[in-house]
Chain A
Amino acid sequence: MENRITSLFNRKDKNIISIYFTAGYPNLLDTVTIISELEKNGADLIEIGIPFSDPVADGLVIQQSSEIALRNGMTIHLLFEQLKEIRKSVSIPLILMGYLNPVMQYGIEDFCKKCRETGIDGTIIPDLPLEVYEEEYKAIFERNSLSNIFLITPQTPEERIRKIDRLSTGFIYMVSSSSTTGVKGGVDDEQISYFERISGMNLNSKRLIGFGISDKGSFERASNYANGAIIGSAFIKALAGDSTTASKVTAFMQKFF
């Protein structure tokens, strides 16, 4: 399946920088600005978070951004509306990341179709288990050329990683430690040995490392063991404050180059 994610990895397989942000944060209408500015400033891939009232896999920073985004009025309907014209100006891969319940209420089939129409390349739905995806949803995702991205953690058994590798069409999201998002900062030796163990498995899928990646140092360290890394909470934190959203995005991204 050829889509923007696979083309990206074909073109570039080191130091891919992927940025997560919560749609509707800090302001309801920031979505397109943030995406455009991220692309302009060197992001290779963007994960657009759909806010949920009960984000159990997320630490405080993303929880709070989700709360504010919901209070601002963000919904999946509105998000698709905001992204309607996005492919006229943005060419890097875009992924939607959100919890299962809002997607389920929107309707999985409709959601996938809308993703295709909008030019969304993939999804990350952390509480949609592999087994349910495989049995119930895989065909729908494939019909709409959507890559569903799966997570692995330091606890994921080898056999399961192999299975995830076979099912993955975009990349594997390596959760850097046993953690919710934005909790454990930096990259320590225990994590390095986990990264090395996964590198040694010679998986077919490309890998990005996320959770706890917050600055240039941790980004580079993680990138040594994968095709790149994902930054979420640190970026959300950088979006707080008074100056314009565009200037905050630029200032944040410049630290990585």
Chain B
Amino acid sequence: MSYQSDNKGYYGTFGGAFIPEMMYQNINQLQNCYLEIIESDSFKQEFKQLLEDYAGRPSPLYYSDRLSEHYNTHIYLKREDLNHTGSHKINNTIGQILLAKRLGKTRIIAETGAGQHGVATATVCAREGLECIVYMGAVDVARQSPNVEKMKMLGAEVRPVQSGSKTLKDATNEAIRDWINNPVDTHYIIGSVVGPHPYPDMVARFQSVISEEIRVQLKRKTGRETPDYVIACVGGGSNAAGAFYHFLDNPEVQLIAVEAAGLGVDSGESAATTQLGRPGVLHGSRSLLMQTEDGQVTEPYSISAGLDYPGIGPMHANLFETKRARFLSATDEQALKAALYLSQKEGIIPALESAHALAALEMIDFKPDEIVVVNVSGRGDKDMESFLKYYQSVK
């Protein structure tokens, strides 16, 4: 069984391209040329060079003595938090900006939740001298203000979105509307493995550098190329897609996807899509979707703006349905606790998103000789306000 998409963008029954006619030309163009472009030698070389010299790759695979001791196993942290701009998002934006240039596009739009993808997009646009507009839910603008300021400093325009729940889903709607209104000069840099084909596959390919490196680094450190577990958080799912990618066909590697349970899966305030969703169509693909009986998309909730999304990428929906990956969920509280623990035991402040992956360490019985890789997808600078509130409450 293949866990990759077919040539129409389907992962099993999920994926596809459910787009209005107004987007047809742009999506069709991407579908027809993305593989040819990103597999060309000149693209690959430029992409690799920028990942190394600009983003700072490879990111370290760090053996955590303290976590390993605490959980009585061998825990490695994939340090995507050390990338330029502070998360894995830069891998994808570098790839897409190089693609946009080859397509002759001069204006870039993006959606962002936590602001990490917005900052990573604003960054590559600054470097290429392209106009950059970032749509961000008004709620997220308020709770992730350091990233908003960064985007502005980088020269991007941040447009707060007032519709719906004013979070990531609504920012995505607004970016799609912008693209419909500006089809000729604009490329839409989607930040996750969501959206119509070819985005899920394209973004997964750009992020796959994460697992490509893990294999090499692990081999060097342990003599083994494959770990027993790879753990990553899932909102749309781009860091998980990247961390899982080169292990998909190694069934001995357990893939653990961690969703945001918010205040609890059954609390009505949650973003745990695989537990709360059913198949549906949103943002151009068929996937699992949190929705009412009548097919209206429900407002998700998580303390983490990057996981506050009512769907997951079609690749993950398929990994869930085929049981190739195991889906867990962590509450706000569990994530905050895990973030505090990592900060004080290892001196690493993780992003709230990544803290959900770390929280899953509590939920699995590891054997002492197993190797566990946790993808620390981003750093926590942007989340200081949430962290401070929490620490003051637990002191």
Binding site for B on A (CB under 8 A): 52-59, 63, 67, 70, 75-77, 99-106, 126-130, 132, 150-153, 155-157, 160, 175, 178-180, 183
Query: 17 A-B pairs, CB-CB below 8 angstroms?
Result: A52-B295, A53-B296, A56-B173, A67-B163, A101-B289, A101-B295, A106-B294, A127-B284, A129-B21, A130-B21, A150-B21, A152-B21, A155-B24, A156-B24, A179-B181, A180-B177, A180-B181
CA distance A70 to B19 in the complex (A): 23
Interface residues of B (CB under 8 A from A): 16-22, 24-25, 163-164, 169, 173, 176-177, 180-184, 280-284, 289, 291, 293-297
Residues in chain A near residue B22, CB distance under 8 A: 57, 151, 153, 155, 175, 178-180
Picked from B18, B163, B184, the residue with its CB within 8 Å of the CB of A100 is B18
Chain B's nearest CB lies how many Å from the CB of A154? 9
Q: Say yes or no: B164 contacts A54, CB within 8 Å.
A: yes
Complex alpha-carbon distance, A183 and B16, angstroms: 28
Beyond contacts A104-B280, A128-B18, A155-B25: 19 other A-B pairs, Cβ-Cβ < 8 A, are A52-B296, A53-B297, A54-B164, A54-B169, A54-B283, A54-B297, A59-B177, A67-B164, A101-B280, A101-B295, A103-B295, A126-B20, A127-B19, A127-B20, A153-B22, A155-B184, A157-B25, A175-B21, A178-B180
| Contact of B296 with A151 in the complex, beta carbons under 8 Å | no
Residue of A nearest to B22 (CB): A153
A127-B281, A178-B180 known; A106-B20 Cβ under 8 A: no
**B180-A56 in contact (CB<8A):** yes
- With beta carbons under 8 angstroms apart, the residue of A52, A59, A132, A152 that contacts B18 is A132
A104 contacts B281, CB within 8 Å?
yes
Contacts of B19 in A (CB 8 A): 127, 129
Known A63-B163, A102-B296, A180-B177: A126·B184 in contact at CB below 8 Å: no
On whether A70 and B281 interact (CB within 8 A), knowing A127-B18, A129-B18, A178-B22, the answer reads no
> In the bound complex, what is the Cα–Cα distance between A36 and B173 (angstroms)?
34
Residues on A with beta carbons closer than 8 Å to the beta carbon of B183:
153, 155, 178
B-side contacts of A175, CB under 8 Å: 21-22
Q: Residue of B at shortest CB range from A211?
A: B22
Closest-CB distance, B291 to chain A (whole angstroms): 7
Check if A56 sits within 8 Å of B177, measured CB to CB: yes
A100 & B281 in contact (Cβ 8 Å cutoff)? yes
A155: chain B residues at CB < 8 Å are: 22, 24-25, 183-184
Q: Residue of A at shortest CB range from B284? A: A127
Give Cα A130–Cα B294 distance, bound, in whole angstroms.
24
Do A106 and B295 have beta carbons less than 8 Å apart? yes
Kindly provide the distance from the CB of A198 to the nearest chain B CB, expressed in whole angstroms.
14
Name which residue of chain B comes closest to A59, CB basis.
Answer: B177
Cα distance A92–B283 in the bound complex, in angstroms: 34
The CB with the most chain A CB atoms within 10 A, among B18, B281, B294, B297, is that of: B294
Chain A residues with Cβ under 8 A from B17's Cβ?
Answer: 129
Q: Are A101 and B282 closer than 8 Å at their CB atoms?
A: yes
Complex: A229 Cα to B20 Cα, angstroms = 20
The residues of B that contact A54 with a CB separation of less than 8 Å are 164, 169, 173, 282-283, 297
Task: Name the one of B18, B164, B280 contacting A105, with C-beta atoms under 8 angstroms.
Answer: B280
Residues of A within 8 A of B16 (CB): 132
* B24 / chain A contacts, CB cutoff of 8 Å: 129, 153, 155-156, 160
- Complex Cα gap A183–B284 (Å): 22
* Chain B residues with CB below 8 A from A126, complex form: 20-21
Nearest A-chain residue to B8, judged by Cβ = A131
